[in-house]
Amino acid sequence: MPLSPDPSPLTTHQRYIRQSLMCMSGLLFGLLLIAGSALVLVALQFNSSSREQTTFYVNKAMESRTGALVAVIGDYAFWGDAYERMSGVVDLDWAYTRNNLGRHMYDSFGHEGVFVVNGNNVTTYAVINGEVTEDLSLSSWLGLDLDSLNIDSLLAEARTLADEEDVAFAITGNQGLPVLISAAAFTSGGDPYVKELPGPAAVLVLVDQLGPVKLAALGESYGISQLRVADSTDDAHRAPALAVETMAGTPIILRWEPPQPGNTMLLWLLPILLLCLLVFIYITRFNFRATLAAARKADASHNQVRRYQTELVFQATHDSLTGLPNRSILEERLKQACVTAQQSGTQVAVMLIDLDGFKPINDNFSHHLGDQVLVEVAKRMLAIVRPGDTVARMGGDEFIVILPGVLDEQAVSAIAERFLEDIAAPYHIDSIDLRVTASVGVVVSNGLIEQPLELIQHADSAMYQAKQEGRNNAFWYTAGLSQQMHEMAGLRNDLQRAIETQAFKLHYQPQVNSTTGEIVGAEALLRWTHPVRGIVSPAAFIPLAETTGQIIPITLWVLDTACCHLRQLADEGTFLPCIAVNISSTHLLRASFVSTVKAALNKHGLHAAQLELEITETVLLNHADRALHTLQQLKKMGVRLAIDDFGVGFSSMNYLKVLPVNKIKIDRSFINGTDHNEQDAAICQGIISMAHHLRLRVVAEGVEREGQRVFLQENHCDDMQGYLFAKPMSFSKLRQFIRKVNGEAAHSPRAAH
Ligand code: C2E
Ligand code: CA
Ligand code: CA
């Protein structure tokens, strides 16, 4: 399972928008609240100034009422006619009937009481509510409720003020209602024809009683609504008040209903404001939701984009199969590890781990199974390393491990051993039991390296060496190894040049019949004369050519040359039954191999039976099925097949049953001991006997001594090859050698039989 990238933290669009919307809403709401409060304050202010204004007008009204009373009484009292007719005996006809001081005083001015008091303070004339009334004195009419009013002093004041044509004035209460009283002494009014009368002057008293109707009307005339005397039901807070001072000292409180412009304003504006608020709340709510939804969407897509980005970065830097880092971030990690090593005085270890025999798993089972093995290997490796170490997959079955901060090499060695051990442990996948091993290349550095990537090259060289040394082991890089690798690279280039310039030659080593001594064939052995190094052994360059693929053009040349030489021999009449060519497994497995062989035979007009191909058991290691199929096709064609180096491989006996071969060549290492080592002798006897049971011919390789020849002959080994008979030789020497041997054989008595 690939490791999934860490989910990145969510973006804050939503939170941000929510916060700013809340702030905005709060702000607007606050503003609305302030506006509302200001409105109420203004309204209250309006109301208050309205109260002040109406108080002013009520005052004005009262003053004007008083003023009117004073003006009226002045007009009638300081008038010569009235002085003459009202001072002594009252001229009732003049006063009431002719209405000089009669009914019109009530009708026109609203004076409830009109009194005239003579010099002795006796009431001589009384008109109450417009009706003349006899026997009613001013003091008795007024005195009913007006105990506190000292009429005499008012009259005295009026007589005193008369000199300056002024009048006396007082306010008193009657049944709670204000009563305005004005008194003025009669004078001639400056009329020179009116005779002055002796003694205290008669006084005119006018009474203006402000009852509810009159008060209301007085208020209305000044635009004041419901002017009245306050009673217990009045709300002192609502209606303004005016205290009218009375002679008794207890003021009379007037109240009225002032207009409330503030209330009116509020009545109009508050609903509008409220409506605005509601609309605002609705719109804000709507906007809030819409914006939040948009933000949520934006967040979602933003997060998705971020997730994709993170995923992309992860995919670009990690192996999709194992989830391990891939080579793209390796360089960075390696550089970092080198810096850490330099700074901390430690070392950095780099391991290159390559699985052995992984390819057959892929080919023989399935890629799916191979993938699972790789995943399991990755898991096992990750379980071994510490946090901070890096395990990366380079591709295929190759892994890199970086161990920074290494203190001693033993620890590295221990880790490498654990890798080998844990990777080699059995795998049980899809009910299949498998085993895989690994070759590990190790390099340790102090970090002082210009190109940290070189460490990987070094680990690779070491790993290559580990493979060469038989796999399933760890090899440590040394400076010498680098030199060796360098040489290999040089060799490879030289080899390429040799292929291009055909700088090879073929030598041949004859094979002889153990019994008759006849030449039964010759093995073609490649020779390369290097311009500097001289003759280079095929053992040195064939393995390299196999890994580089250069073995293909080389073998094509060998096949062609060997067939060409055999054709020449046949054409010359030099009899050689068969020529043997060594074939590398890598080439045999090529799909075109069979047709390549056919083409070579056809080109030189040879029978298939004249060609023998030497293969090793390693062909069966990888792609056994394909190898078997190719071998069967070759066998069918008639080409002979021999197993080379028999005995040193891995499979031996078991495969002999299935391999369609004609002969086996017992490896030189067994032949060597046949004349002195019992075990080797026994092994050879066993191989010969078994091969004969399977109807296979047996060739002994590397026969050098007579003792070996005798042993092999006695044990019925069919053919022999080795320095005892002939060393590998040039084609022209081979020609001579065959002619010589065949000639001798033709004359020998044994051959005659
Ligand atoms: P091989 O196929 O086992 O060839 C036999 C090797 O043993 C040859 O070495 C030969 O010179 C050597 N030999 C023969 N008789 C004796 C003996 O009595 N004593 C000793 N000590 N050695 C003996 P050579 O020619 O150096 O070849 C080495 C290997 O190179 C061959 O081993 C073969 O595996 C490979 N090789 C040679 N030529 C070719 C070629 O054309 N194609 C391929 N694929 N491999 C080749
Ligand atoms: Ca051989
Ligand atoms: Ca051999």
Name the closest-CA residue to atom 7, ligand 1: 702
Ligand 1 atom nearest to 665, measured from its CA:
3
Give the pLDDT score at 605. 97
One-character DSSP codes across 199-242: SSPPEEEEEEE--HHHHHHHHHHTT-EEEEE--TTS-TTTS-EE
Protein residue with least CA distance to atom 21, ligand 1: 702
User: How many whole angstroms from 157 Cα to the centroid of ligand 3?
Assistant: 168
Better pLDDT: 248 or 495 = 495
Q: Give the pLDDT confidence score for residue 389 in this predicted structure.
A: 95
CB 212 within 8 A of CB 117: no
Q: What spacing in Å lies between the alpha carbon of 487 and ligand 2's midpoint? A: 26
Is residue 482 within 8 A of residue 474, CB to CB? The reply is no
| CA nearest ligand 1 atom 37, residue | 525
Closest listed ligand to the CA of 542: 1
CA 704 from chain center: how many Å?
A: 77
665: CA distance to ligand 3 center in Å?
Answer: 7
- The DSSP 8-state label assigned to residue 698 in this structure reads E
Average pLDDT of the segment spanning 537-543: 91
Per-range mean pLDDT, top range of 186-190, 224-228, 231-235, 370-374: 370-374
User: Tokens 């080795």 label which residue?
Assistant: 722
Could you tell me the distance, in angstroms and rounded to a whole number, from the CA of residue 574 to the centre of ligand 1?
A: 24
b/e for 543-573, b at 16 or more Cβ within 10 A? eebbeeebbbebbebbbebbbebbbebeeee
Res. 357 pLDDT band, cuts 50 70 90: confident
Fill in the DSSP letter of residue 469: T
Which of 508, 541, 558, 582 gets mutated to test ligand 1 (max ligand atoms within 8 A of its CB)?
Answer: 582
- Compute, in angstroms, the gap from residue 633 CA to the centroid of ligand 2: 21
Kindly report the pTM of this predicted structure: 0.51
Question: Nearest bound ligand to CA 523?
Answer: 2
CA R_g for the chain: 70
Is 556 a residue whose pLDDT tops 90? yes
Q: What is the whole-number distance in angstroms between the Cα of residue 649 and the centre of ligand 2? A: 14
- Environment class of residue 595 by beta-carbon count within 10 Å: exposed (0-12), middle (13-18) or buried (19+)? exposed
Between the CA of 579 and the centroid of ligand 1 the distance, in Å, is: 14
> Considering the chain, what is the average pLDDT of its residues?
88
Residue 580: what pLDDT?
98
Q: What ligand 1 atom has the least distance to the C-alpha of 583?
A: 44
pLDDT digits (tens, 9 = 90+) for 478-527: 888 778 778 888 888 999 999 999 899 999 999 999 999 999 999 999 99
pLDDT of 37-52, one tens digit each? 888 899 889 988 988 9
Q: Give the ligand 1 atom nearest the CA of 584.
A: 44
Q: Residue 717: which pLDDT band, with cuts at 50, 70 and 90?
A: very high
Index of the ligand 1 atom closest to the CA of residue 703: 18
What pLDDT sits at residue 3? 39
Nearest CA to ligand 1 atom 19: 702
| CB-facing half-sphere around the CA of 155: CA atoms within 13 A | 20
State residue 149's pLDDT score: 58
- Output the CA 573–ligand 1 centroid distance in Å: 27
Which residue has its alpha carbon closest to ligand 1 atom 3? 645
Q: Is the pLDDT of residue 423 over 50?
A: yes
Q: What is the pLDDT of residue 143?
A: 57
C-alpha 615 – ligand 1 centre gap (Å): 12
Structure tokens at 557: 């040349």
What residue spans of 125-222 are helical by DSSP H? 138-143, 151-162, 212-221
Helix axes 409-424, 367-384, angle to 10 degrees: 150
Summarised one tens digit per residue, pLDDT across range 585-608 is 889 988 899 999 999 999 999 999
Selected residue with higher pLDDT from 96 and 152 = 96
d(CA 729, CA 502): 19
CA-CA distance, 292 to 17, in Å (whole number)?
7
Taking CA atoms only, the protein residue closest to ligand 1 atom 13 is 702
348 Cα–ligand 3 center, Å: 44
Give the ligand 1 atom nearest the CA of 614. 2
pLDDT in tens, 576-587: 999 999 999 889
Confidence of residue 664 (pLDDT cuts 50, 70, 90): very high
CA of residue 705 to ligand 1 center, whole Å: 18
pLDDT for 7: 42
Cα 532 to middle of ligand 1, angstroms: 22
Query: Which ligand is in closest contact with the Cα of 728?
Result: 1
Reduce the DSSP state of residue 105 to 3 states and report it: helix
Q: Residue 102: which of 124, 125, 81 has the closest Cα? A: 125
Tell me what pLDDT residue 12 has. Answer: 62
Most confidently predicted of 11-20, 236-245, 448-457, 599-608 = 599-608
User: pLDDT tens across 625-645, in order?
Assistant: 889 999 999 999 999 999 999
| Number of the ligand closest to the Cα of 583 | 1
663-682 burial by CB neighbour count: b if 16+ within 10 A, else e? bbbbbbebbbbbbeeeebbe
Residue with more model confidence, 686 or 21:
686
Q: Nearest bound ligand to CA 556? A: 1
Instruction: Take atom 42 of ligand 1 and give the residue whose Cα is closest.
Output: 582
Q: What is the mean pLDDT of residues 379-399?
A: 94
User: Where do the H-state alpha helices sit in 78-168?
Assistant: 80-86, 92, 104-107, 138-143, 151-162
pLDDT-derived band at 652 (thresholds 50, 70, 90) equals: low
**Which residue is closest in CA terms to ligand 1's atom 16?**
702
Give the model's pLDDT for residue 586: 86
* The ligand 1 atom nearest the CA atom of 587: 44
Please report the atom of ligand 1 found closest to the CA of residue 728.
Answer: 11
CB 354 within 8 A of CB 461: no
Bridge partner list, 536: 528
Average pLDDT over residues 94-117: 92
Q: Residue 370: CB partners within 8 Å, gap ≥ 6?
A: 358, 361, 362
User: Which one, of 180, 169, 262, 264, lies nearest residue 218 by Cα?
Assistant: 180
CA dihedral in degrees (735, 737, 738, 743; nearest 10)?
Answer: 120
Site residues for ligand 1, CB cut-off 6 Å: 509, 524-526, 537-539, 542, 555, 558, 582-584, 614, 644-645, 701-704, 722-723, 728
Going through 337-389 in order, the beta strands assigned E by DSSP cover 347-356
Alpha-carbon span 211 to 223, nearest angstrom: 18
If you measure from the C-alpha of residue 525 to the centroid of ligand 1, how many angstroms do you get, rounded to a whole number? 6
Closest CA to 661 of 701, 688, 634, 625: 634
* pLDDT > 80? residue 746: no
Out of 525, 541, 614, mutate this one to test ligand 1's pocket (max ligand atoms within 8 Å of CB): namely: 525
Distances (CA, A) of 426 to 365, 429, 566, 712: 16, 10, 51, 43
> With 70 as the cut, is the pLDDT of residue 650 above it?
no
Q: From residue 467, how far is each of 137, 356, 441, 493, 735 by CA, in Å?
A: 153, 8, 9, 22, 41
Average pLDDT over residues 321-330: 91
Of 375 and 306, more confident: 375
For the stretch 108-152, pLDDT in tens is: 998 999 999 988 888 899 999 899 988 777 767 765 444 455 778
Residue 551 CA, closest ligand 1 atom number: 44
